[in-house]
A = this chain, B = another copy of it.
């Protein structure tokens, strides 16, 4: 019986009204970690027919799972925990949600206010626990069957949901104090019969407050000015950085391609931009993916139009910095995400309105330097050819980039690919070739931690259709870090192909100068752990397949055709792998340079 009007006590009423209103507002999923104080919320969610409940035992993993689901759908996912340190375990994912703009609704149960700082058990100060990382914080009043209070609760629910989805999507935190009884136990007169007939108790048909979020569109005048700058550019460039979840859902990729073609600009498409893979991609088209290697070697652009967050590629960021071109940074939230401080124009408007506005404003023919696009074509072809050459002699000289190349090349259409931070995302950026297939590529690039990777991937997988496989590409440190997240495979019924690049420690440190200082390099940076991950797979009843780099591509295809979750573990020597990356980079750059000289 989920009708709030027939609630046996105040806490139950409160939980039911809140959940009822969130569901009416469109909330479809919640991740719950078990606890006592959160009982009214858990009970209400569990009995609500329209909200999928995912139960997790580790709050940190729960939060990343919710993050992944919200990242994939662009829609808010809720999170519930009990009072105390449980809430602090959400903190890493809340920070990622803030910076990656992922709509997350955090509901922390709490003990009543008078127990704060009283020495009471399992009670911490949860007020503003996540500081400035949330879009909105509110503390609910104590449950009571009072019309004004319940109206306020319904309004707060609508508002909380709405605040996750404003011009800058992100996390919202509601702290929810409850007094005993927490369970749906009858407390005579707690919810008077007269209350049942109030609007507050009944709610409305649909959300109590229907919310519409306006979008930030570009003024015609502004569009004209950008169009003029692009039309007059000799070497115009479009850069698509990691897309916010909101944009990933809404951007019209064909329009971006049209704009690029119209002004003669290459589109440098981050693997997380939503533009590197998809039906808009064709050979000879304006989408480029190999720039991480060659960005610094080509002529400088003079006008840049940049979408999304700061690009994954450091060499691209540096090339943009050094070009010191006129650089338009488009960000609907107006958030100055440009850490080299060379941008000249901030455009606070939705990417699609900028693309449409500029396309409309463009008049007549535009002209660029003769070989401007051709130079990119040449560099791009050279890069992918050399990459493919390198892959042919894998057995002699394996490197991690070859695995990432196969991951993207062999993934079915459609696939969701979640890529860990540290080396995998860099290799995805460098070795994932643009392709005419719907690959949704995701990563935690808001704060770029290696925590919660498995859970975020599984959360994303929980939201994809039956015919869309989930691939997770992770390093061994990230895989260890969120080992608890593997429990969700069974509990939340998500399957994945997990590609484990195992180089026994922090391979990324080979890229850094600390490599030359050993000690402390091995003990404190590379930190080999010798974990045998087949045993971890065993704990979670997963199939484990140790494959050589040469065998990987076939094993990967087989796994994608197979039900259940397989861990494909490929072992590498991090140092050798890194040296191979450097060699390949050198070869591409040499090729470009020698062409320059001709």
Which residues on A are within 8 Å of B, measured CB to CB?
32, 34, 36, 39, 42-43, 46-47, 53, 55, 57-60, 84-86, 88-89, 91-92, 94-96, 98-99, 114-115, 117-125, 128-129, 131-133, 181-185, 309-310, 335-339, 341, 445, 447-449, 451-452, 477, 480-481, 483-484, 487, 491, 506, 508-509, 512-514, 516-517, 519-520, 523-527, 529, 531-532, 535-536, 538-539
CB-CB under 8 A for A132 and B121, given A84-B448, A88-B91, A509-B36: no
Assembly CA distance A59 to B36 (angstroms) = 27
CB distance from A301 to the nearest CB of B (A): 19
CB-CB under 8 A for A525 and B34, given A84-B447, A339-B118, A535-B539: yes
CB distance A58 to B481 under 8 Å? Answer: yes
Chain B contacts of A539 at CB under 8 A? 531-532, 535-536, 538-539
8 closest A-B pairs (Cβ-Cβ)? Answer: A119-B337, A85-B449, A46-B520, A120-B339, A118-B339, A88-B91, A85-B92, A535-B539
Chain B contacts of A536 at CB under 8 A? 539
Other than A89-B451, A119-B309, A480-B487, give 18 A-B pairs with Cβ distance below 8 A. Answer: A34-B526, A34-B527, A39-B514, A42-B520, A57-B529, A58-B480, A84-B449, A85-B95, A89-B91, A98-B124, A117-B336, A121-B339, A121-B448, A183-B513, A185-B513, A531-B539, A535-B535, A538-B538
CB distance A55 to B481 under 8 Å? Answer: no
CB distance from A331 to the nearest CB of B (A): 9
Assembly CA distance A118 to B132 (angstroms) = 15
Assembly CA distance A32 to B520 (angstroms) = 12
Q: List 12 contacting pairs A-B, 8 Å CB cutoff, sorted by A.
A: A55-B524, A58-B481, A59-B451, A89-B91, A117-B336, A118-B336, A123-B339, A125-B131, A128-B131, A183-B513, A487-B529, A538-B538
CB distance from A87 to the nearest CB of B (A): 9
Tallying the copies of this chain within the complex gives 2
CB distance B512 to A36 under 8 Å? Answer: yes
CB-CB under 8 A for A449 and B338, given A183-B517, A484-B480, A512-B183: no
CB distance A506 to B34 under 8 Å? Answer: yes
CB-CB under 8 A for A523 and B46, given A84-B448, A88-B95: yes
CB-CB under 8 A for A43 and B517, given A339-B118, A451-B86, A481-B484: yes
